[in-house]
Amino acid sequence: MNTFLKMALLFGFSLHAVAHEAALEKVSVAKDVPSIERGAETLMGACHSCHSMKYIKYRDLIKFGMDKKKVNEWSGGQSLDLPLLAQMSENDAVLAFGKAPPDLSVMTKARDGGPRYVYSYLIGYYQTKDGLPGNHIYPETKMPDPLGIIGVTDEKQLSEIHGKARDIVSFLAWAADPREEERLRLGYYVLAYLFVLTVLLYFVKNQIWARLDRIS
């Protein structure tokens, strides 16, 4: 069969499968250092053994304002200039789960729905009829329930887990876009400047064009 046809078929099928199965939960991403630090801590405990964040160095966390002692602990005494690589090698992970765990550095930007997707995914675990773990958001997932939400019915415990998921997502959102704060701050100045400039340019334009009325 002609390669293009194959491509087109692949295309058609993949397009068919795109419709989202479950609606995404709402989450407000925290921007404050304590929440993001809590998120980093939870991530270090629950995700870091398999998932890397190769674009983030330990020193970046300290620069952002996290507790130096904690970061040192997470790095395990290694140089702070090393990236947050997973403890498990990719090969071992593939052997264990059948799939390499994706890098998390830009995860909140890499999915439709962004932070909402990641949050819904983390709290989307449930027990299937066969007693196996399932996920509403990403049914094909190979990752075991990282926050232990399956089977939890207690309201207080549940909201605690939701809080943890929110912290993780806040940390991931910061990691995906560490320059956001700088960007927004600069953005307000730029817009204010452009606004004044444009108003002035408008007056200049009117003044210059007023000459025409005087002539004719």
Partner 1 sequence: MFANVINWIDQRFPLTSFVKHELTGYPTPRNLSYWWNFGFLAGLVLVLQVATGIFLAMHYKADAATAFDSIQHIMRDVNYGWLLRYMHAVGASAFFFVIFVHMARTLYYGSYRAPRELLWWTGQGLLLLLMATAFMGYLLPWGQMSFWGATVITNLFRATPFIGDDVVIWLRGDFTVGDATLTRFFALHYLFPFLIIGAVVIHLVALHTVKSSNPSGIDLAHKDNIPFHPYFTAKDFYGLGIFLIVYSVFVFFMPDSLIEPANNIPANPMQTPNHIVPEWYFLPFYAILRSVPNMVGGVVAMGLSVMMFAFMPFLDRSRIPGGAHYRPIFKLQFYLFMIDMLVLGWVGYVPQTSSTTIIGQIATLCYFGSFFLIPFISRVEERWLIKRGLPQEVMTLIDKEKKEIAERKLKNSQRKGGKA
- Per rule CB under 8 A, is residue 186 in the interface with partner 1? yes
Q: Is 91 helix (H, G, I), strand (E, B) or coil?
A: helix
158 binds partner 1 (CB under 8 A): no
Region binding partner 1 by CB under 8 A among candidate stretches 30-38, 45-53, 158-166, 183-191:
183-191
Output 95 or 184, the one with its CB closest to partner 1. 184
> How many whole angstroms separate alpha carbon 62 and alpha carbon 71?
7
Neighbours of 120 (CB within 10 A): 23
**Per CB under 8 A, 90 contacts partner 1:** no
Residue given tokens 């932070």 in the structure block: 115
Rounded distance, CA 140 to CA 136, Å? Answer: 10
In whole angstroms, give the CA distance from residue 202 to residue 31: 38
Q: Binding partner 1 by CB under 8 A: which of 34, 65, 102, 151?
A: 102
Contact stretch for partner 1 (CB under 8 A) within 26-34, 39-47, 120-128, 200-208: 200-208
The C-alpha atoms of residue 193 and residue 4 are separated, in whole angstroms, by 51
Q: Which of 4, 26, 98, 140 binds partner 1 (CB under 8 A)?
A: 4
Phi first, then psi, for residue 60 (nearest 5°) are -60, -35
Helix 68-75 vs helix 33-46: angle between axes, to the nearest 10 degrees?
20
Of 101, 114, 124, 146, the one binding partner 1 by CB under 8 A: 114
Q: Which residues bind partner 1 (CB under 8 A)?
A: 2-5, 7-8, 10-12, 14-19, 55, 102, 105-106, 109-112, 114, 176, 178-179, 182-184, 186-187, 190-191, 194-195, 197-198, 201-202, 204-205, 208-209, 212
